[in-house]
Chains A and B, each alone.
Chain A
Amino acid sequence: MIELNELTDAAQKAFPADQLSPARDASWQLVAEMGWLMIRTPEDDGGLGLGREASAAIHFEMGRVLSRVPLIPAQLGLQAVIASTDFAERAAWIERLSAGEYAPLHMLSTKLTTGSDGAVSGTISGVFDADLAVAVVAKLPDAYALVPLDAAGVSIVERPVWDTSRRLFDLVLDGYKPDPANTLAQGDAAVKALHDALSPEAHIALAADCLGGAVAALDLTVEYTKMRKQFDRPIAMFQALKHRAADLKTRIVAAEALLWNRARDEEATVTQLGALKTLAAEVYQFVTEEAIQFHGGIGLTDEHPCHLFMKRAMLNLQLCGSPDLWKERSGREALASFA
């Protein structure tokens, strides 16, 4: 059994804190070599068979360095294949994806229609780094399926986002005829089951990404206040800033405690995990919003990395359901539990 801190140490060695957003393709090679693509793949399927906590530890480190590697959608795509026990090509795809081929789960919604001939047209949003992908694990009407990027009627359109550490694409289908051999889950019940199996992984991974980023943004900010002098002293000496920095720290550590608690808790509901992701993403937003304010003018320039964290935080807030959605669900679930 690999210890959590060994995993963290290895990640920090491979991705040092002083190199933010290292080049994507080289990072992808490194991530594949480290075995992180298959961190949640069961040992029977040739993976590392590690738990959610281990996966969270890696995503925490990826968040800390604003990684450009689309590790979260890659892991989720692989997990969709692993969960699809009726999928004839399952073993072959697990092997391909574990070795570094890329078939991400899309992270945003779809707008699709099915023609009378069964051909599907429309848009599948939130495909990370589609230029790297061989296929996309997509929610089609009534099914989850692998959509090969070289199939007829399939194209990709990049949708530039403010977050420079991510590249998002729309997968555009125009009369695409799904090959039944690529189906992972068919019918409402199977689709829901797969969705429910992937959601917890997605929320924990995103929450970890948020808190790794929040920790790095606070470190960066506190270091800056110690170095920046005004009125003949480091601005870190001013209590007006100390107290705000302390509040950021308090919010981060409480959210982090919940992250590790939930990552260990197999009983946590999808809603509780959505609420965790929301809490973590809102902490990330607050920390990075304050980070820019603490930095003053330099925080508004492209030269300083402050804004990169803020932009990633803002995008994370919108992935896997908005804060409003999860807060409402969390409220409803808690209300029902006190019936």
Chain B
Amino acid sequence: MASDTHLEGLRAEVRNWLAANAPKDWRSARTHQDFFKSQRAWFLKLVEGGYAIPHWPAEWPGGGRSLAEQKVIYEELAAADAPRLLLSFVSTFHAFSTLEECGTEEQKKRYMPRILEGETWCQGFSEPNAGSDLAALKCKAERVSRPDGDVYVINGQKVWSTMAQYADKCLLLVRTNSDGVKQAGITYLLMDMKAPGVSVRPIHQIQHDEEFAEIFLDNVEIPVTERVGEEGAGWAVAQATLASERGLTLMELSYRLRGSLYRVAKLIRDHGHENDQGILRDFGALVAQVDSICAIADQFLDNRIKGIERVGDASNVKNSYSRALRAYSLLGVRLGGIDEQYIAPITFGDLNTGNWMADFMNSYAWTIAGGSEEVQRNIIAERMLEMPREPKGWVL
């Protein structure tokens, strides 16, 4: 375990580096393309500085950091108001941990260095009829012989893939078997987004962003060598993917939300509400709520560092954060009044777009994506409070 002095040294080092290198103008990105470019540049800068992949093993430059050290780095990134790494999130966390834990040596050698060069990945998990019930996915893969090695031929559709329109590679879950338990027929593949038969359509979201996309797969051929784990073992591999960022993201986001409270304070002043008791009370309650989500995110990470995380802890952290974010954006909408009902250009990649209505709409990403609030509630109720599951086998 790293000593406090060591951590404080790291903190100072990161802070100094960020002061010199963190982009200041990133909020001026008014198109998604601009945002994409600025994200790529920032990621490469962080790679160069040695702070992009603190969670990777020590053989990688900038890797080998303890959870406590990672926490310091994320705290400083949030405090410096540096842009979040949205574009490289799936590649550095999900693709990395999938390859690291379940990939072949050859897959690791081929893909890890490319991630550091800026190759971006997306996730092809959800489908139109497989959201909260992810294991119900139907995207079909058939194994076919080809002269230069077997391939899987893929047909189907994926949805809610973050920034798939910019991705080079995709972590794809497909169905190789439809008999028996639905989890057992799932296989995990690495797909080239430029392969023939792959088409991507960005999803126009209610807040005028295009953070997500649909992926259509029409007889796409993926070599069998691009499979991670055995055929039919995809569900277990996917668990490794999803567990990789546990806690770090929400800790960073919670501190970013804490750091954003000044925006509400500014609204209160701009509208002359400094002595409005009702508004001060609501602001005061929000501040305490945000403090509590920072505390629970901290506690969660500390418990992970100590190895005493319990099932359901992550669900409590996520649901606490998403509700605080909703409350924050709704207070902004309310205080902004009619101004917020006029459409204004938004900036991308931040929990503050510059328009409170857009922020409010964005906040649904946290109550719906990444395991909906309802799925988290089931986890808390059934696995933490040990309330019994509903009987299975109910047929409509």
Contact = CB atoms under 8 A, between A and B. Distances in A.
Interface of A: 218, 222, 225-226, 233-234, 236-237, 239, 241-243, 245-247, 249-251, 253-255, 257-258, 260-262, 272, 275-276, 278-279, 324, 326-335, 338
A279 B292 contact: yes
Given A239-B378, A275-B288, A276-B288, A253 B316 contact: yes
Contacts of B305: none
B385 A258 contact: no
Contacts of B6: none
Given A262-B295, A275-B291, A329-B284, 5 more contacts: A236-B388, A237-B389, A257-B299, A272-B288, A327-B282
Contacts of B385: 218, 222, 242, 245-246, 249
Contacts of B289: 254, 279
A262 B291 CA distance: 10
A333 B281 CA distance: 11
A328 B388 contact: no
Contact of B277 (A234, A242, A272, A328): A328
Contacts of A225: 387
Interface stretch (B140-148, B161-169, B259-267): B259-267
A250 B288 contact: no
A257 B283 contact: no
Interface string B383-396: 01111111100000
A253 B385 CA distance: 13
A253 B291 CA distance: 13
A338 B376 contact: no
A330 B378 contact: no
Contacts of B376: 246
Contacts of B291: 258, 261, 272, 275
Interface string B334-366: 000000000000000000000000000000000
B327 to A, nearest CB: 12
Interface string B280-324: 111111011101110110110000000000000001100110000
Given A245-B385, A246-B385, A275-B288, A335 B377 contact: no
10 contacts: A222-B387, A237-B390, A242-B377, A257-B296, A257-B299, A261-B291, A278-B285, A279-B288, A324-B281, A335-B274
A275 B316 contact: no
Given A222-B387, A257-B295, A331-B283, A250 B274 contact: no
B346 to A, nearest CB: 23
**A239, A251, A254: most-surrounded residue (chain B CB, <10 A):** A254
A291 B296 CA distance: 24
A254 B289 CA distance: 8
**A237, A327, A331: most-surrounded residue (chain B CB, <10 A):** A331
Which 8 A-B residue pairings sit nearest by Cβ, starting from the closest? A330-B284, A331-B284, A331-B280, A242-B381, A338-B265, A257-B296, A246-B380, A246-B377
Nearest to B378: A242
B265 A261 contact: no
Contacts of A333: 284
B270 interface: no
Contacts of A245: 380-381, 385, 387
B295 A261 contact: yes
